[in-house]
Structure 1
Amino acid sequence: MRTAVVLFTRDLRVADNPALHAACEIADRVVPLFVADPSVPSSPYRQRFLAESLADLRESLRHLGGELVIREGDPVTEAVKLARETGAFGIGLAADVSGFAAARERRLRRACDDERLALKLFDSVTVVPPGALRPSSGGDHYRVFTPYWRAWQGFRHRPELPVPRKVCMPGGIAPGRLPAGGAATGLLPGGETEGRARLSAWRKTSAEYAEIHDDLAADRTSRMSPYLHFGCVSPIEVARQIGDVEAYVRQVCWRDFYHQVLAYFPDLPHKAYRRNADEKWADDQRALDAWREGRTGVPIVDAGMRQLAGEGWMHNRARLITASFLTKHLGLDWRAGAAWYASLLLDADVANNNGNWQWVAGTGNDTKPYRRFNPVRQAERFDPTGDYVRRWVPELAGLPGKAVHQPWLLPEPERRVLRYADTLAPDPGRT
């Protein structure tokens, strides 16, 4: 009987999972495997989300007659070891473009060659595979989003794959224990079941996305990014379900765009993408610490940073404002900001996190590298009532209306009574 190992990485689902689907089609027995790698940096939020996602995946596989085998250690060593123990002919997994994934693939390929195992990678992390679209004018990838968006819209992506009817496993395999979860926030439970339910529910109101997605206080974005990052929901299913909402589909396309950028510029997390980019950054640890801790004295910036710390997530508009403040107002290195985001965000994706940080910093794919966001104007436009700031900066809860966005303009006696007053920055509205 033919046996195949499916190594789950960023595809923690049974619906539209190409690696799992192919294994069930060509093999008599399938061994689903996840390896908890202690070398991968994480956060309590991601640990919790991952643990819930794995528990959900295990339950789904059990309903299909299978099991999720969990091991801890090096994914290459554990996958090859399990393939050898079960007499498998090969290993399948999702293709990925991060430096970590590329190194894992190289090591796994060498190990499989040594053991005479087949190795097959499947495109399942993005809607359009990173290498599928290339500019007609030449070059290995698109450097500007708009022409990529036009090409992406015309690409005929693969069809969604059904959930396997059955997963047959060899006997005698110890399933292993689920990894421990981290801090619970009461928001965004992990797993395919929750992710697909969220997508289905949000679909009913998604037509309003273009009008409301920048409203900070309303918080009416889909929050699908963590489910896409962990592969709890297929990006192709998301694109299909929300296909008639162009403003949202463009965001899905941006995700693919940065994956193809990272595929051809692996140094994206470390080096400026744009040639001759200005990389003269200030060295001010106190300013960086204040930004991280949400005590810069600029309410909209501090609200965003406190949301990040409190939820492991931040509204996209707040991400733009806080990133621009760090790089364009404080003049600090975008790499420090990207690293801080990566340490806390549930959806900390290497391609999107670093691509977006470079875009804001003027070192990446933005065609207007000197663009900057005025935090006061952004606050007044996207948090006009000040409710978002009051939610995350309770020191300012008693201020009326737009006064919450510029507390430094209050008369001195009123400023003095604010516990927030000792962090008040010079007026950033002038810049």
Structure 2
Amino acid sequence: MSRTTPPAPPSATSGGRVAVVLFTSDLRVHDQPVLRAALRGADEVVPLFVLDDGVREAGFAVPNRRAFLADCLAGLDAELRARGGRLVVRTGRVVDEVARVVAETGALTVHVAGGVSGYATGREQRLRTALAAHGCELAVHDAVITVLPPGAVTPTGAGSDHFAVFTPYLRRWETAGTRAVLGAPRTVRVPDRVASDPLPARTSVQNTSPGLATGGERTARKRFTAWLADGVSGIAGYEDQHDDLPGDATSRLSPYFHFGCLSPVEAVHRARQRGGPGAEAFVRQLAWRDFHHQVLAARPAAAHADYRPRHDAWRSDPAEIDAWKAGLTGFPVVDAAMRQLAHEGWMHNRGRLLVASFLTKTLYVDWRLGAAHFLSLLVDGDLANNQMNWQWAAGTGTDTRPNRILNPLAQAKRFDPHGDYVRRWVPELADFAGSAVHQPWRLEGPARARFDYPDPIVDLAESRARFERARG
């Protein structure tokens, strides 16, 4: 792959103080504290994104997120060019590539958004060490990826470094206040001597989900603005409708928050300006996102180890696990959600809770297997939210009722009462009328022979008894 130096925009200059902005999960120019801080302290900045070999080797660079990332980088480059700048892309080890750019430009500071994963914090440590050898400072900025930094609010009392229960966290979170929203810069001056690899192309990524959404800041902002204004299925009805499976009235903004195309701080401000119960419910979901980040920041091992061990002797039945992944469990609402995941790289929030409970409680399979499958497909595959939500569902995380089980039939009756969600994603059952679609195995004779759909892979009563015995 050859590097090119595009023609300098008319506003670009040479010389003066240079800073580097290392973009990670903050691919935007609106409400972008990292970029604004760099612009305040330098005459020119290098907006840099590294296609990191370490991320690929760790297994996080899956097709859906790579394709969405390509959209996001193209969008970021367009926004920077509209302001006289451009995005510089490098490929390799992130520390090596940042150090090379610093050496090429004589940059005195590298700015980056703070992260909470073990990889992000390790990256910061390695960068700080490597940059010191070049006489360069690393500036880490908080409240970029989340509304509040992970350690902004902590419980009172000795030895408490984070909240382990959401409700008290929410009370403190709501009164902590948020920083002001920053406007997008008018001008971004980039040294014309800095070469860049080509931007990755979405079309070059194979094996993506057919219904994968389009990424990028402009798309995110248009979607959010339209959702705020929608008086039927937008934020106005969110409190009552966000669990409605066929209604699909969620914001669908999670991929854009994951890649930082939309600022969660700006989202909170704009939602609160809109006001109403729907806005409060939406802001509460952003608080859940912050909550999970502060848990993982305090307990990095929770990405892979039980936050609250239950001493589970997890089952491993390959046939059942494969049926769950393929959406062939015989429980239509579970299968519909899993097929939505495969088709879109995204799943309705109620569906996520339902299929996670089914795997960990009904089949009694290790949550880590489910979390890994989700990360292999989800375009919004955020480590903190994915892992901690899976632990919540499994009863090994922060849920105060660790042995709760979501019955798929009861959930279907409540959140897909007429079977519309199932018929959308399980075409074998498209001709069924009403709620009968949720229990097709009850049909007999010729009616049962009309469709090719499996019987349930597990008896709900027996599986519940098995789980209760295992948990004691």
Shorter-chain TM range is over 0.9
Q: What's the counterpart of residue 8 of structure 2?
A: none
Which whole-Å CA distance do the structure 2 matches of 1:39 and 1:88 have between them?
Answer: 24
Runs of 4+ off more than 6 Å: none
**Are 1:260 and 2:289 an aligned pair?**
no
Tell whether the 8 Å contact from 1:29 to 1:169 is kept in structure 2 after alignment: yes
Q: Describe the SS at the equivalent of 1:4.
A: strand
Counterparts of 1:137-156 in structure 2, within 5 Å, are 137-138=157-158, 139-156=160-177
Q: Describe the SS at the equivalent of 2:130.
A: helix
Q: Describe the SS at the equivalent of 1:160.
A: coil
Q: What's the counterpart of residue 6 of structure 2?
A: none
Q: What's the counterpart of residue 39 of structure 2?
A: 24
Tell whether the 8 Å contact from 1:299 to 1:406 is kept in structure 2 after alignment: yes
Q: Describe the SS at the equivalent of 1:10.
A: coil
Which whole-Å CA distance do the structure 2 matches of 1:362 and 1:413 have between them?
Answer: 42
Q: How many residues are paired up?
A: 429
Tell whether the 8 Å contact from 1:298 to 1:428 is kept in structure 2 after alignment: no
Which whole-Å CA distance do the structure 2 matches of 1:89 and 1:424 have between them?
Answer: 62
Q: What's the counterpart of residue 384 of structure 1?
A: 417
Write the deviation string for residues 328-386 of structure 1: whole angstroms up to 9, x where unpaired: 10000000000000110010100000110000100000000011100001001100110
Counterparts of 1:24-103 in structure 2, within 5 Å, are 24-40=39-55, 41-103=60-122
Pairwise CA RMSD of aligned residues? 1.4
2:449 paired residue among 411, 416, 420: 416
1:425 paired residue among 457, 462, 465: 457
Letter in 2 for 1:32: P
Q: What's the counterpart of residue 134 of structure 2?
A: 115
Which whole-Å CA distance do the structure 1 matches of 2:312 and 2:120 have between them?
Answer: 28
Tell whether the 8 Å contact from 2:212 to 2:343 is kept in structure 1 after alignment: no
- Percent identity reads 52
Letter in 2 for 1:323: A
| Deviation of 1:278 (Å) | 3.4
**Are 1:12 and 2:44 an aligned pair?**
no
Q: Describe the SS at the equivalent of 1:267.
A: helix
Q: Describe the SS at the equivalent of 2:310.
A: coil
| Deviation of 1:93 (Å) | 0.6
Which whole-Å CA distance do the structure 2 matches of 1:278 and 1:120 have between them?
Answer: 42
Q: What's the counterpart of residue 218 of structure 1?
A: 247
| Deviation of 1:160 (Å) | 1.1
Tell whether the 8 Å contact from 1:47 to 1:180 is kept in structure 2 after alignment: no
Counterparts of 1:166-185 in structure 2, within 5 Å, are 166-181=187-202, 182=205, 183=208, 185=210
Q: What's the counterpart of residue 310 of structure 2?
A: 277
1:209 paired residue among 234, 238, 248: 238
Counterparts of 1:296-315 in structure 2, within 5 Å, are 296-315=329-348
**Are 1:238 and 2:267 an aligned pair?**
yes
Q: In the superposition, relative to structure 1, how do residues 411 and 184 fare at CA in structure 2: closer, same or farther (>3 Å)?
A: closer
| Deviation of 1:137 (Å) | 2.9
Letter in 1 for 2:95: V
Q: What's the counterpart of residue 467 of structure 2?
A: none
- Give the stretch that moved more between structures: 171-180 or 73-82: 171-180
Write the deviation string for residues 4-59 of structure 1: whole angstroms up to 9, x where unpaired: 01000000000111110001111001000000113322232211110011000001
- Give the stretch that moved more between structures: 141-150 or 237-246: 237-246
Tell whether the 8 Å contact from 1:3 to 1:88 is kept in structure 2 after alignment: yes
| Deviation of 1:412 (Å) | 4.0
**Are 1:191 and 2:219 an aligned pair?**
no
Which whole-Å CA distance do the structure 1 matches of 2:266 and 2:81 have between them?
Answer: 23
Write the deviation string for residues 222-281 of structure 1: whole angstroms up to 9, x where unpaired: 00100000000100011111123111111000000000000000011211101x423220
Q: What's the counterpart of residue 344 of structure 1?
A: 377
Q: What's the counterpart of residue 250 of structure 1?
A: 284
Which whole-Å CA distance do the structure 2 matches of 1:104 and 1:394 have between them?
Answer: 46
| Deviation of 1:185 (Å) | 4.0
| Deviation of 1:429 (Å) | 7.1
Which whole-Å CA distance do the structure 2 matches of 1:166 and 1:115 have between them?
Answer: 28
Q: Describe the SS at the equivalent of 1:268.
A: helix
Q: Describe the SS at the equivalent of 1:119.
A: strand
Tell whether the 8 Å contact from 1:69 to 1:174 is kept in structure 2 after alignment: yes
Counterparts of 1:313-332 in structure 2, within 5 Å, are 313-332=346-365
Write the deviation string for residues 65-124 of structure 1: whole angstroms up to 9, x where unpaired: 111000111111101100110111111111000111111111111101222211001110
TM-score (norm 2): 0.89
Which ranges in structure 1 are unaligned for 5 or more consecutive residues? none
Q: Describe the SS at the equivalent of 2:406.
A: coil
Which whole-Å CA distance do the structure 2 matches of 1:170 and 1:426 have between them?
Answer: 62
| Deviation of 1:61 (Å) | 0.4
1:158 paired residue among 179, 193, 196: 179
Write the deviation string for residues 151-187 of structure 1: whole angstroms up to 9, x where unpaired: 0000122111111121111122223211132347455
**Are 1:132 and 2:155 an aligned pair?**
no
